[in-house]
Structure 1
Amino acid sequence: MPEPRIEVTSEDIARVVARFYERVRAHPGLGPVFARHVSDWPGHEARIVAFWESAILGLPGYRGSPVTVHREARDVRPGMFAPWLALFDMTLREELPEEAARAWSALAHRIGRTLRAGVTERETLPGGVPKLI
């Protein structure tokens, strides 16, 4: 088994994901967007746990393309990533030791930049000209 990138367990990951999505569902801006796309919360959370287990612990099991999913949602906007990351950071700080929270946050922010760039690509015209309306 590969060495974990961050000192967390599968149980830590599941706990963080569950608490984070409690907050997402209650968020006035993010909650409605997620509600339009997620009908099976336990299944969604299990996929996200598998994603983080793969990214952090090197475990197999996650299959998918987060950029494609967020792009195909059609209503995910670049400005949604800041509140998403703020909620995630708050959850990490509350649920994990400081060093693990800081390391996971750094990874989440790198992934967030990739997702935001993927969504932004959809919001441009040929030649990279921003699509403003």
Structure 2
Amino acid sequence: MRQSPFPTPNPDLYTEEEISKLVHEFYAKARKDPSLGPIFEEHVIDWDAHFVQMTNFWSAQLRGTSRFRGAPMPKHIALPDLSASLFERWLALFKQTTKELDNAELEQHANMIATFIANRLWYGYQMSHNPDIQPVELNTI
């Protein structure tokens, strides 16, 4: 059995309120971003439902809850014209948001997961859209 590269979820380190704040503040930034905003606005039909889904996702990752149900890869692969710079911008905004929350454990854990997710989604996107070309890694510094 393969062990997760992430810290074990811990409900004592992160509150549901912190996770909800992370999700809402991140998407407030992303929706205003000149490169990410138009993509989100075009493809997210119901923002309230999206907030619930993303809060459930991050709660599962950070607190170990089991409310999340979804498959992010197919949804991202279906989007047209994504690029490494868009994934890098998403990650930069995410890291900016976690830093502002002033919880070092949440920042470290969430950023580790977000970096992994950004890389996996970008890799999957490249493999789906350009299977004959060697995938390139994100600049995730």
TM range (shorter): 0.7 to 0.9
Counterpart in the other structure of 1:68: 74
Q: Shift in Å at residue 5 of structure 1?
A: 7.7
Structure that is richer in helix per residue: 1
Runs (4 or more) in structure 1 with deviation over 6 Å come to none
Residues 85, 109 of structure 1: 8 Å contact kept: yes
Mapped partners of 2:81, 2:53: distance in 1: 21
1:28-54 alpha-carbon deviations (Å, 9 max, x no partner): 000001111012111111100111111
Residue 53, structure 1, aligned to residue 59, structure 2? yes
Deviation at 1:113, TM superposition (A): 0.9
Residue in 1 that maps onto 2:40: 34
The match for 1:14 is: 20
* Amino acid across the alignment from 2:78: E
Deviation for aligned residue 1:73: 2.1
Deviation at 1:112, TM superposition (A): 1.2
% identical aligned pairs: 30
- Gaps (5+ residues) in structure 2? 1-7, 136-141
Q: Aligned residue pairs: how many?
A: 128
Structure 1: any 5+ residue segments left out of the alignment? none
Query: What TM-score comes out, normalization by structure 2 length?
Result: 0.81
Range 37-46 or range 24-33, more displaced: 37-46
For the 8 Å contact 2:9–2:61, the answer to whether it is kept is no
Partner of 2:4: none
